[in-house]
Amino acid sequence: MGHLAGMLEKNGVCVVASLISSYESSRRFARSRCRNFVEVHVATPLEVCEKRDSKGHYASARRGERPRFTGIDDPYEPPENCEIRVNTADLSKEEALSRVMDYLGRRHLDRRR
């Protein structure tokens, strides 16, 4: 995904990708491929993610039916150097989106003009 985002960016496309990026090395690779990389860490505690899981994926992973499930039996390395962090346990979806959009407007989108 990082390689593809970098190629699209080089051709004038603004790329927004929502990914579960469990490993720092994956995020570092994606960042190395893009000039205008903004990492948004949706820092929601595991307990909250499990509580919100309407499809039962976490319960299935806890029963061993979904091997290598992030946060259960596969590690998650939280980003240490993300540009913005939002904790949706403390913020509504609208508040979290507003913070991200405010950041992008102040730091990045205005620079492209």
Residues classed as catalytic: 21
Q: Is 2 in contact with 31 (CB distance < 8 Å)?
A: yes
**CA 77/CA 23 separation, integer angstroms:** 5
- CB contact burial 88-103 (16+ within 10 A = b; e otherwise): beeeeeeebeeebeeb
**Six token digits for residue 5:** 């985002």
- CB contact burial 17-33 (16+ within 10 A = b; e otherwise): eeeebbeeeebeebeeb
